[in-house]
Amino acid sequence: MIKRTLFINGVETRAVVDPQSKLSEFLRTQMHLTGTKVGCNKGECGACSVILNGKVVRACITRMKNVKEDAEIITIEGVGSRENLHPLQLAWMVHGAAQCGFCTPGFIVSAVALLEENINPTREGVRDWFQKHRNLCRCTGYIPIVDAVMDAARLMRGEIKTEDIWYKLPQGAQMMGTAYIRPSALAKVTGTWDFGADLGLQLPKGTLHAKLVQAEVSHANILSIDTSEAEKMPGVYRVLTYKDVPGTNRINGLAFPQNKGDGKERPILCDKKIFQYGDPLAIVLSTDPSIAEEACKKVKVELEVLPAYMSALEAMAEDAIEIHPGTPNVYFDCGVIKGEETAPIFDKAKYTVEDDFYVGRQPHMPLENDTGFSYMDEDGKLIVHSKSIALHFHHLMTAEGIGVDPDKYVIVENNAGGTFGYKFSPTMEGLLGVATLVTKQPVYLEFTQDQHFAYTGKRSPFFMNVKFAADEDGKLLAMEGDFSVDHGPYCEFGDLLTIRGTQFMGAGYNIPHIRNHGRTVATNHEWGSAFRGYGSPQSLFSTEVLIDELAEKMGVDPFDLRYKNVYRPGDTTPQGCEPEVFCLVDAMDKLKPYYVEAKAKAAEKNKEGGEFKYGAGVSLLIYGAGLGGVDTSEAWAEITPKGVSVGNSWEDHGQGADMGTLYHAYDALMPLGITPEQIRLVMNDMEKTPNSGPSGGSRSTVTTGNATRVACENLVNALRKPDGTYMTYDEVVAAGLPTKYEGKWATPGTDQDVVTGQGDPFANYMYGVLLAEVKVNTTTGKATVDQLTIVSDIGKIGNVLLVEGQIYGGLAQGIGLALTEDYEDIHFHTSFTKAGMPQIKDVPDNIKIIHQETERPDGARGASGVGEMPLSAPHAAIVNAIYDACGVRITKLPALPEKILAGLKA
Ligand code: MCN
Ligand code: FES
Ligand code: FES
């Protein structure tokens, strides 16, 4: 131990610390300053940034022995308070620069040091600073963050005042369509928004820490698991294996009836087999996490290692054994049969084009690792807190496996530091549930970054072969497709994902005749979970690159070829139904001048010669809002003495469910004349909030937004008096009327037929057209995105900050998907850097968003969703631009420098 006198946020403190401990641990656990977050815990993300003696340091890689006597430390708690915000905190709120908010304290602290050094930085100077200090953000695409720093600097220089930038809702105005600041922003910028690990530190004394024994091979039969040594270790409370699980020990993957398996192949704790690297084999429990960790090493596992099939193609080989004995590795098939037989059309068509495509295992990389905890409440209910974005699904999927009475089981969503879809699957709910149900003790479990990479789902790779046939004018006549989806060993939502392939290959264009066939394949790679875009980034990549190939073959401009074929009245989607609106022609008209300019600019620069080649590429961006078929949601509204409480389970990854709920509620409650501050949001606790469905499929605005509006309207209608005024809370109670009213919503739509793919699955779609401008270094092969211009049409905008934040963030993830991101190598792709997450300088500061607001008939007051559209196909525009620049056609992502270089050499 060492003794240190420290000045923390200006307060002199005497601390006794382990010299080997980390500054982040000291601040969080000893000083209870949990505003400092820990993400990677490896020095790569900047979430833990603090100022130490005037310099920004990453507290997770700063050992206490290196924190000198009398050191001055500033954490987010010392930057500003709720009552007295620092200009940076204020500007962060105004610009919507905190989405999930996990990176926010680190960024703000880092920016404080920047502005202390230079109060008048350029935008590029700000970007250089965050690059140098490794501040990563996965949500915002960085642009709102730079905007916030620039405005904070102006505030500090006295050039503008708070009133100039602070959004104030005009009296009597509706909130929808404004830049109203989200309710959680204040807590996020002050470091008081508690995530799972922060709540974990506040759990009662005696809480057990769970550590996992996990598989280190990808496929094996389990011969034995011996926990005796581990159990003998002093301080170990209990070691649990499959034998201790009270329930069926299976997660219910909610398989489609056409699935050849029963969907119950994922064990909570492995019993007979290991199906993938990272599978959990035992849970060690101790009040001391380091003892639990040590004891894990003492658990002996005897295995018979089996061949591991690390791709769909390997698992489909004739001699491959069944990963789940009794269920074929190819366990689900679906397709599209639209119009006439395509073979004769291909025979006769003037132009045909065919290619193979691959979009791989993009990792989600939220800054916050998976974290949760569980306990029995005083009524004997099992309560699990996690990052679930599908509370009611996960309840259904895990209750039987854990062995808990569904009526005595509740899931609560903790504030989440981003999920991007990985938490559409249960991760630790089963493990926590079993640990608490067996021991009756509170249990806390947090994944390290390595565990997070190893035991959370990834984007499922698609292997695709696609063909287009077109007439002499370039009108598309037919499409044929064949694709295999590598979904890892667990089928959860893999069938639905494969159906998405049939919905988005060729989407956006009128293709009268289609034959498409997709199959879902079990492999031993990481299990596939939802990832923002869910099937569209894979599908659209194939057709959005293929259309460029067709244009090249025809000798026409790819923009013009798209323009000729995009949906117009009378046209139909691959599902054979009319799109709900026809907005792509207008969107392309808006983008055209930018495209022409970009092409001219690139040609000009290319004429100058040199190492770099410049190019421009385009793609359509499309996603359907909803789960497919009829999609339902529920909410409630209740009058209280203080105003109105509004309840729903609009799970928040960071996208802004709080703000979405607030504007839907406020506008519906306007007749009551209440202020936004009088609306209390009660969200994401199954004990209190109804089944609003998951926050996936960009469905929540349409479904839960509407359910929330209906609940509030029902309340308003119930309170209306004959003279047109409204009852107060006291009057309602005195009249003996109910105070609480439900709202329900169901989208129209029909499930599509699994074999023919025909139906009308989505009430509405989100559309975009994207222009990417890139440069390629012909010496290194490295491609860089210089500029992006998007025309976005998501119907009516709910909140400008949310929508633009979603678009910037989605596009930034698209840059990663296009150029760097991967989780193919389970032993290498295990950190943000190695897995290719874009830093600020990898994302251009130049992203232009042009809004087109075509009202959606079945939207939420004209709005569709937005979350997934910007990640549906930006990588296709980028890859098309790479081809335009240097003639290298990348069809298998990511477009790493070595692939481009090999293409250049060839
Ligand atoms: N919104 C709006 N106006 C519209 C549509 C939406 O203001 N016309 C706002 C909504 O209020 C919400 C956000 O935009 O705050 C996204 O809304 P919507 O598209 O309806 O999607 P969901 O709320 O269902 O969010 C889920 C979606 C998905 S599926 C993934 S994955 C995703 C995403 O949103 N993961 C995210 N965005 C994310 N953003 C962050 N920061 N972190 C994630 O993990
Ligand atoms: Fe410290 Fe990531 S850099 S948590
Ligand atoms: Fe930056 Fe979520 S707001 S990581």
Q: Which residues line ligand 2 (CB under 6 A)?
A: 38-41, 43-48, 58, 60
Radius of gyration for the chain, computed over Cα atoms and rounded to the nearest angstrom: 27
Residue 59 alpha carbon, nearest atom of ligand 2 = 1
Ligand closest to CA 837 = 3
326-329 CB contacts, 8 Å cutoff, 24+ apart? 327/260, 327/261, 327/262, 327/265, 327/522, 328/260, 329/521, 329/522, 329/523
With left for phi above 0 and alpha for psi between -120 and 50, is residue 365 left, alpha or beta?
Answer: left
3-class state of residue 181 by DSSP: coil
What is the CATH T-level fold of the domain 632-746, as seen in this structure? Answer: Aldehyde Oxidoreductase; domain 4 (3.30.365)
Q: Is there a contact between 274 and 215 (Cβ–Cβ < 8 Å)?
A: yes
Pocket test for ligand 2, best of 28, 36, 40 (most atoms within 8 A of CB): 40
pTM of the model: 0.98
Beta-bridged to residue 4, according to DSSP, are 15
Ligand 1 atom closest to the Cα of residue 661 is: 11
Q: SS3 for 481-533, per residue?
A: EEEEEECCCCCCCHHHHHHHHHHHCCCCECCCEEEEEEEEECCCCCCECCCCC
208-310+372-454, CATH topology level:
Aldehyde Oxidoreductase; domain 3 (3.90.1170)
How far is the CA of 73 from the CAs of 6, 104, 116, 485, in angstroms?
7, 18, 15, 50
Ligand closest in space to the Cα of 97? 3
Which CATH code of 3.40.50.1000, 1.10.238.10, 3.30.365.10, 3.10.290.10 fits the domain covering 566-626+763-905?
A: 3.30.365.10
Secondary structure class of 612 (helix, strand, coil): strand
> Residue 435: what pLDDT?
98
Measured between alpha carbons, how far is 21 from 39 in angstroms, rounded to an integer? 17
From 103, 189, 420, the mutation candidate for ligand 3 (largest count of ligand atoms within 8 A of CB) is: 103
User: In angstroms, what is the span from residue 347 Cα to ligand 3's centroid?
Assistant: 51
Closest-lying ligand 1 atom to the alpha carbon of residue 660: 11
Please report which ligand is nearest the Cα atom of 96.
3
Annotate 297-317 with b (16+ C-beta within 10 A) or e (fewer): ebbebebeebebbbbbebbbe
CA of 60 to the centre of ligand 2 (A): 5
Ranges of residues in the chain with a pLDDT under 50 are: none
659 lines ligand 1 (CB under 6 A): yes
- The total of other beta-carbon atoms located within 10 Å of residue 3's CB is 9
Ligand 1 neighbour 867 (Cβ under 6 A): yes
Cα–Cα distance for residue pair 762/747, rounded to 1 Å: 8
Residue 70 CB-density burial (10 A; 0-12 exposed, 13-18 middle, 19+ buried) = exposed
User: Measured between alpha carbons, how far is 902 from 904 in angstroms, rounded to an integer?
Assistant: 5
Give 531 Cα–ligand 1 centroid separation in angstroms: 13
Question: CA-CA distance, 748 to 629, in Å (whole number)?
Answer: 7
For ligand 3, mutation pick of 44, 100, 184, 419 (most atoms within 8 Å of CB):
100
CA of 616 to the centre of ligand 1 (A): 28
Residue 749: per-residue pLDDT: 86
Which residues does the annotation mark as catalytic? 868
* Identity of the residue numbered 562: R
Considering only CA atoms, which of 434, 491, 455 is closest in space to residue 242?
434
The DSSP bridge partners found for residue 284 are 211, 239
Report DSSP state, residue 755. T
H or E stretch at 4: strand 2-8
135 Cα–ligand 2 center, Å: 9
Top CATH class, 1-188 = mainly alpha
Q: In this predicted model, what pLDDT tens digit does every residue of 720-764 receive, in sequence order?
A: 999 999 999 999 999 999 999 999 999 998 899 999 999 999 999
Same CATH fold assignment for domains 566-626+763-905 and 632-746: yes
Domain boundaries, the chain: 1-188, 208-310+372-454, 566-626+763-905, 632-746
pLDDT for residue 358: 98
Q: Which atom of ligand 3 is nearest to the CA of 97?
A: 3
β-pair partners for 882: none
Bridge partners, 240 (sequence order): 283
> Which ligand number lies closest to the CA of residue 864?
1
pLDDT tens, position by position, 440-467: 999 999 999 999 999 999 999 999 999 9
- Supply the residue whose CA is at minimum distance from atom 3 of ligand 2: 43
Q: Output the ligand 3 site: residues, CB below 6 A.
A: 98-103, 137-140, 367, 418, 654
**Sequential DSSP letters for 376-438:** E-TTS-EEEEE--S-HHHHHHHHHHHHT--GGGEEEEEPB-S--TTGGGS-SSHHHHHHHHHH
